[in-house]
């Protein structure tokens, strides 16, 4: 990929006068520039509430060029050149005049969305500008949640104590270290080392220590009551004490960071507990469910469209002869291409007659595809044409009839499905679109309520543990702040320079201060942090909000993999995560493993593809079982994956998200990064799918898991972000990851034991708590066609997953209750999933 000789960054500018900036704050990361088909570059910018500015910085090759805005008429307007006094750099801005009243420059980039073309020498830059309604508060909420989540992962979750309830958490260790530091620093404060220096000052005659000046003053005034004397001043502002104060200030920063992170975590756990309790209460109280009229109508229209396509089909025919109409009822597909078993509509189900064991109809390919798409909603079909009839014999010498249509002149599909749906609609309208739940649905809701109660209880336990650590750390933080204030009153400054004296070796109080601080610092270093990086995290700006959102998504993916799905991160992951959080690097790969399932996950941020494009996240799932797969010691087998691209938008136009997805696949080739070809967009808008809701489940208004149009969950988007209530929402993202993992889980297998019993084993985990599905909790059952399906129960949180299969195309399907099911379902039967590959479903009213 050709590298540009310039870069674009967000700027916050405080204006001094026209063309002069008092201060310029520069975003830490540049915007991503992509190569256009015409050879230029394109950059996407988002401006919110007049902040920020978009500045262009030129490299050495273009340092003598003057960037110009190229209007649609071809007119060129030079950009405004602005000097950054702090860094000494130069920025070029798109300015449209000076506002004398507001004392600031104006720019159309801050007021108008659209395309802006800039020419820089021989280079061309297209700016795709978007305006956002997000304000500083909404963006700051992402920064606060990002910083708090990262610090808690580093400082709070490092020991895993607060997650499992085992042992002392990091907060307890920090509180103990702060307590030791407080005790040692108070001893130093009670008797600090001092430096004594000689000075001159007026003293009473009885206490005078004479100097030459003393005798001169006395000669001038023998009656004076005070004369200049030698005095000795003790000063505590020495190198040792200055370093002690530095240690106190550093420890206060660490304690403050922990307190802030723990407070964010405590609030999150409190919201989780409240949400799960409320969900459990609703599930237990629910006896009826509201049907979404829009989803019901869209599913009805889809059925009508398929039947109309059959009715409108016509094929040209060169056959001669008298055509006939054949009223038939289609049954299952036959083994030959484009064929079905069939029987006459007047014939009873079963063997069609004594002459033939069965009957087969062969249809033209294009017509067959239409019929196959409507197979589960239309079995009765009247076909007019001139078929060829053959009496053949099967492999076991049974006679059967084969009816082959070279062309179809007319087809009349049965409309019973539409009539049933019309009747269902009238019934729903009479009941205000409420449908009474079945016994199975009520049982499922009670089970989900139990899972919600368990999750709420676990969240409260963790919140209590975190709360206890907050109290302990806050107590010592306040005590240390009082000691630091006392040092300040003694006139002791702060210095990070370690003194050259021997006080920290020979004086036990000073040595104790240093020992206690080392314990505090060790807790920080254990997570890959140091004071400079802690300072960087504290100073994250709201300027580059899209960069912040990407990193926020990275943390949420990391947390879901480790906390919700039980994967263990690689060694020294903390350092890599901190490095990714404070800088914009590329191709950072994190690995996670579950040895009990022989699974490994690789998550790459800003993965570098051979095409030069960099998707935000590439997540790959590998099966590491050696003996069963015949793999080498250094070889893994990819069994699933997904490409995720984060787009920070507050609104989408109709069809815009689908168009963006198409560009990611067709233009950038993101689907080639993983074998599954899955590409999804992560975005923070809460009502993304308001124009095209396809699922009656709660996520239908926010997400699209691509469960229709026979794509098999390949393209879609999910809402994940800080919601309007201020809470961090990742449940849709968790459901998406669940879809990826369940697609990678192998089929359960039966193991026979020496005592004659058998049990089922599954290499899968519970979506509720991450625990492995143990054989004792796996139940296998048989369908009417003698096919096996499984109930996978969790002994820990009681969540149930049903692993079944489509009875038509036989692909695996997963039912995870109403909370975590990602398949599209029937509007008025939310436990009835639609196959995402062939769109089949079990219709209770079908015959």
Note whether 640 and 633 are within 8 A (CB).
no
Structure confidence by residue, pLDDT tens digits, 799-819? 999 999 887 788 899 999 888
Q: What CATH number is given to the structural domain containing 374?
A: 2.40.50
Q: Which residue has the tokens 């800039």?
A: 118
State the Cα angle at 715 between 710 and 717, rounded to 5°.
Answer: 130
Structure tokens at 331: 């049954």
Q: How many Å separate Cα 344 from the centre of its chain?
A: 54
CA distances from 292 to 329, 428, 693, 832 (A): 32, 10, 9, 15
Cα separation, 680 vs 670, whole angstroms: 10
Mean pLDDT of all residues in 54-65: 88
395: pLDDT strictly greater than 90: no
| Beta-strand runs (E) in 121-216 | 123-132, 195-204
Is a pLDDT exceeding 60 seen at residue 305?
Answer: yes
The candidate with the shortest Cα–Cα distance to 428, out of 636, 696, 818, is 696
> What's the pLDDT at 79?
92
Q: Do 471 and 583 belong together in one domain? A: no
Q: Are 771 and 756 contained in the same domain? A: yes
Going by the DSSP 8-state scheme, the letter that residue 191 receives in this structure is S
Q: Which domain holds residue 214?
A: 159-220+240-292+433-526
| 179 in the same domain as 122 | no
CA distance 70 to 40: 14
Whether residue 753 sits in one domain with residue 629: no
Residue 526 has pLDDT above 80, yes or no: no
CB contact at 8 A, 293 and 700: no
Residue 440 lies in a domain: yes
Q: Which residue has the tokens 């004076």?
A: 224
Contact call for residues 59 and 84 (beta carbons, < 8 A): no
* 127/187 same-domain check: no
pLDDT tens digits, 204-240: 888 888 888 888 888 888 888 888 888 777 788 888 9
Number of domains in the chain: 5
- Confidence tier at 512 by pLDDT (50, 70, 90): very high
Residue 546: what pLDDT? 86
| Model pLDDT, residue 757 | 86
Neighbours of 308 (CB within 10 A): 12
* Same domain membership, residue 410 and residue 319: yes
- Does a structural domain hold residue 568? yes
Please indicate, yes or no, if residue 509 is contained in any of the structural domains: yes
Q: How far apart are CA 815 and CA 707, in angstroms?
A: 13
Q: Are 451 and 504 members of one domain?
A: yes
Please, how many CA atoms are within 13 Å of residue 474, restricted to the half-sphere of its CB?
Answer: 11
d(CA 20, CA 13): 10
Q: Is the dihedral of CA 833, 839, 841, 846 positive or negative?
A: positive
DSSP per position, 286-343 = -SEEE--HHHHHHHHHHHHHHHHHHHT--------S--EEEEEEEEEEPSSTTEEEEE
Q: Please tell me the distance from the alpha carbon of residue 680 to that of residue 660, in angstroms, as a whole number.
A: 10
Are 497 and 405 in the same domain? no
The CATH number of whichever domain residue 56 belongs to comes to 2.60.40
Q: What is the pTM of this model?
A: 0.85
Judgement on whether residues 730 and 760 belong to the same structural domain of the protein: no
Least confident segment among 57-71, 353-367, 423-437, 524-538: 524-538
| Residue 439 near residue 395, CB atoms below 8 Å | no
pLDDT score at 50: 66
Q: 653-662: long-range contacts at Cβ-Cβ below 8 A with a sequence spacing of 24 or more?
A: 654/691, 654/692, 655/691, 657/681, 657/683, 657/688, 657/704, 657/717, 661/715, 661/716, 661/717
Sign of the CA dihedral running 588, 737, 145, 172: negative
Q: In the predicted model, what is the mean pLDDT of residues 21-36?
A: 86
Upstream peptide bond of 52 is cis (omega within 30 degrees of 0):
yes
- The DSSP line for 762-808 is -S-B-TTT--B--GGGEEEEE-TTS-EEEEEE-TTT--EEEEEE-TT
Give yes or no for a contact between 358 and 334, defined as CB atoms under 8 angstroms apart.
no
pLDDT of residue 159: 43
545 near 139, Cβ under 8 Å?
A: yes
From residue 471, how far is each of 7, 161, 459, 637, 782 by CA, in Å? 47, 17, 18, 48, 55
Window from 167-171, 421-425, 463-467 with minimum mean pLDDT: 167-171
Higher pLDDT: 795 or 728? It is: 795
Burial degree of 485 (CB within 10 A; 0-12, 13-18, 19+):
exposed
Using the 3D structure, point to which of 366, 386, 414 is the last residue of a domain.
414
What average pLDDT does the segment 5-26 reach?
A: 89
Contact 54, 93 (CB under 8 A): yes
Q: How many CB atoms lie within 10 A of CB 429?
A: 10
Question: Does 772 score more than 90 pLDDT?
Answer: yes
Considering the chain, what percentage of its residues have pLDDT values greater than 90?
Answer: 34
550 and 696 housed in the same domain: yes
Distance (Å, rounded) from C-alpha 567 to C-alpha 558? 10
Rounded CA separation 263/467 (Å)? 8
Helix (H, G, I), strand (E, B) or coil at 840: coil
Q: Is residue 718 part of a domain?
A: yes
Q: Which residues contact 139 (CB under 8 A, 6 or more apart)?
A: 48, 542, 545, 548
539, part of any domain: no
Residues 713 and 649 in one domain: yes
CB 249, CB 224: distance < 8 Å:
no
C-alpha radius of gyration, the chain, whole number: 36
Helix (H) or strand (E) segment spanning residue 589: strand 588-594
3-state helix, strand, coil in the chain (%, to 5): 35, 25, 35
Of the residues 693, 726, 743, the one at which a domain ends? 743
Q: CA-CA distance, 652 to 689, in Å (whole number)?
A: 9
CA-to-CA separations, 399 to 28, 164, 355, in angstroms, rounded: 78, 67, 8
The verdict on residue 183 lying in a domain is yes
The DSSP code for 671 is G
Whether the predicted pLDDT of 334 surpasses 60: yes
- pLDDT value at residue 361: 94
Render pLDDT for 601-651 as a digit per residue (tens, 0 to 9). Answer: 999 998 888 888 889 999 999 988 754 443 344 445 668 899 999 998 888
Q: For 102-136, what is each residue's pLDDT tens digit? A: 888 988 888 888 889 999 988 899 998 888 877 77
Domain boundary among the residues 466, 498, 526 is at 526
Phi and psi based region of residue 709 (left: phi greater than 0; alpha: psi -120 to 50; beta: remaining): left
pLDDT level of residue 754 (50, 70, 90 thresholds):
confident
CA gap 13, 25 in Å, rounded: 6
pLDDT range class, residue 503, cuts 50, 70, 90: confident
Residue 764 in domain: yes
Longest dimension (CA), the chain: 149
Is residue 148 assigned to a domain?
no
Tell whether 758 and 736 lie within a shared domain. no
Task: Please choose, from the candidates 817, 702, 775, the residue with its C-alpha nearest in 3D space to the C-alpha of residue 452.
Answer: 817
The confidence score (pLDDT) of residue 847 equals 31
pLDDT for the residue numbered 725: 58
**Torsion angles phi and psi, residue 470, rounded to 5:** -60, -45
For the chain, what is the mean pLDDT?
Answer: 85
Span 244-248, average pLDDT: 93
């Amino acid at each position: 990929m050709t590298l540009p000789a310039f870069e674009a960054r967000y700027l916050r500018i405080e204006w001094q006068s026209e063309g002069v900036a008092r201060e310029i704050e520069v975003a830490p990361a540049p915007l991503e520039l992509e190569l256009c088909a015409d050879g230029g570059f394109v950059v996407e910018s988002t401006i919110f509430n007049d902040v920020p500015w978009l500045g262009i910085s030129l490299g050495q090759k273009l340092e003598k060029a003057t960037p110009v805005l190229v209007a649609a008429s071809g007119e060129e307007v030079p950009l405004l050149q602005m000097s950054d006094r702090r860094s000494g750099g130069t920025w070029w801005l798109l300015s449209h005049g000076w506002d004398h009243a507001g004392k600031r420059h104006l720019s159309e980039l801050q007021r108008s969305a659209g395309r802006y073309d800039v020419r820089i020498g021989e280079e061309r830059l297209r700016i795709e500008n978007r305006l956002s309604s997000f304000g500083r508060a909404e963006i700051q909420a992402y920064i606060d949640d990002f910083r708090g989540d990262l610090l808690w992962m580093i400082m709070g979750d490092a020991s895993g104590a607060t997650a499992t309830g085992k042992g002392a958490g990091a907060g307890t260790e920090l509180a103990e270290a702060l307590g030791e530091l407080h005790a040692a620093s108070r001893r130093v404060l009670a008797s600090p080392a001092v430096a004594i220096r000689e000075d001159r000052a007026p003293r009473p005659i009885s206490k005078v220590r004479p100097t030459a000046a003393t005798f001169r003053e006395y000669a001038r005034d023998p009656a004076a009551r005070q004369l200049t004397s030698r005095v000795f001043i003790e000063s505590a502002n020495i190198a040792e004490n200055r370093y002690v104060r530095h240690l106190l200030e550093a420890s206060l920063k660490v304690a403050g960071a922990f307190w802030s992170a723990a407070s964010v975590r405590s609030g999150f756990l409190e919201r989780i507990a409240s949400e799960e309790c409320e969900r459990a209460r609703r599930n237990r109280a629910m006896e009826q469910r509201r049907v979404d009229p829009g989803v019901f109508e869209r599913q009805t229209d889809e059925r009508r469209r398929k039947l109309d396509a059959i009715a409108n089909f016509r094929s040209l025919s060169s056959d001669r002869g008298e055509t006939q109409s054949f009223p038939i009822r289609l049954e299952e597909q036959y083994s030959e291409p484009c064929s079905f078993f069939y029987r006459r509509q007047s014939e009873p189900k079963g063997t069609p007659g004594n002459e033939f064991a069965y009957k087969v109809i062969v249809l033209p390919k294009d017509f067959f595809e239409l019929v196959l798409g409507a197979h589960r909603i239309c079995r009765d079909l009247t076909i007019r044409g001139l078929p060829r009839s053959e009496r053949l014999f099967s492999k076991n010498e049974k006679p059967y009839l084969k009816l082959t249509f070279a062309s179809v002149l007319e087809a009349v599909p049965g409309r019973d499905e539409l009539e049933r749906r019309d009747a269902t609609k009238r019934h729903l309208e009479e009941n205000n679109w409420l449908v009474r739940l079945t016994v199975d649905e009520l049982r499922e809701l009670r089970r989900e309520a139990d899972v919600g109660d368990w999750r709420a209880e676990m969240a409260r336990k963790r919140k209590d543990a975190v709360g206890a650590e907050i109290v302990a750390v806050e107590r010592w933080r306040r005590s240390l702040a009082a000691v630091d204030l006392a040092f300040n009153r003694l006139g002791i400054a702060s210095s990070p320079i370690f003194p050259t004296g021997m006080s920290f070796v020979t004086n036990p109080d000073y040595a104790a201060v240093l020992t206690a601080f080392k314990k505090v610092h060790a807790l920080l270093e254990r997570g890959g942090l140091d004071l400079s990086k802690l300072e960087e995290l504290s100073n994250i700006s709201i300027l580059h909000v899209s960069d912040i959102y990407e990193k926020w998504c990275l943390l949420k993916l990391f947390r879901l993999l480790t906390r919700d799905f039980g994967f263990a991160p690689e060694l020294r992951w903390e350092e890599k995560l901190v490095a990714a959080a404070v800088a914009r690097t590329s191709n950072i790969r994190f690995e996670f493993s579950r040895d009990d399932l022989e699974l490994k996950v690789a998550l790459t941020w800003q993965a570098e593809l051979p095409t030069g494009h960099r998707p935000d996240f590439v997540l790959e799932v590998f099966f590491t079982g050696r003996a069963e797969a015949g793999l080498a010691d250094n070889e893994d087998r990819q069994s699933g994956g997904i490409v995720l691209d984060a787009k920070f938008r507050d609104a989408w136009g109709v069809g815009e998200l689908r168009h963006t997805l198409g560009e990611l696949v067709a233009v950038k080739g993101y689907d080639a990064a993983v074998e599954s070809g899955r590409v999804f967009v992560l975005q923070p808008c809460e009502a993304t799918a308001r124009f095209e809701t396809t699922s009656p489940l709660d996520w239908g208004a926010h997400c699209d898991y691509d469960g229709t149009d026979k794509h098999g969950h390949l393209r879609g988007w999910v809402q994940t972000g800080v919601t309007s209530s201020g809470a961090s929402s990742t449940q849709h993202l968790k459901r998406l990851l669940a879809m990826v993992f369940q697609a990678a889980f192998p089929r359960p297998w039966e193991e026979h034991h020496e005592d004659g019993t058998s049990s089922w084993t599954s290499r899968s985990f519970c979506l509720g708590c991450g625990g492995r599905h143990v054989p004792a909790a796996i139940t296998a059952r048989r369908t009417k066609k003698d096919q096996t399906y499984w109930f996978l129960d969790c002994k820990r949180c009681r969540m149930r997953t049903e692993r079944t299969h489509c009875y038509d195309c036989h692909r695996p399907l997963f039912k995870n209750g109403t909370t975590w099911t990602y398949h599209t379902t029937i509007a008025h039967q939310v436990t009835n999933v639609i196959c995402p590959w062939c769109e089949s479903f079990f219709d209770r009213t079908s015959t």
